[in-house]
Amino acid sequence: MKGQRLSLLQSTAGFFLNQIINEQEYVALVTFSSNAQILTPLTKIEGQATRDELISKLPTIATGQTFICKGFRKGFEVRKKLLLFN
């Protein structure tokens, strides 16, 4: 993914973080390509600074292939950690 598609991803994710997610809700960022990784653990939204920090973690380059299932697995891993601690 490059150019216009990456730019669309960044603007859409930024919109989601700034406009859709409410204060006091939790967000984790997971990225995936040939592999998947957790960019940020579950983070409680506590103002614009939290949102800006998450946005700064969004990918700026894309490499590898698109294995969305690996991304889902990492997302489930984040959720499982939440369930273990609550």
Domain boundaries, the chain: 4-85
Write the pLDDT tens digit of every residue in 52-78.
Answer: 999 999 988 877 788 889 999 999 999
**CB of 43 closer than 8 Å to CB of 57:** no
Close Cβ partners of 29 (under 8 Å, ≥ 6 residues apart): 38, 39, 40, 54, 57, 58
Looking at 3.10.440.10, 3.40.50.410, 3.40.50.620, 3.40.50.150, the CATH number of the domain 4-85 comes to: 3.40.50.410
Of 37-41, 53-57, 80-84, minimum mean pLDDT range: 80-84
Can you read off the two tokens belonging to residue 52? 């800006």
pLDDT of residue 12: 95
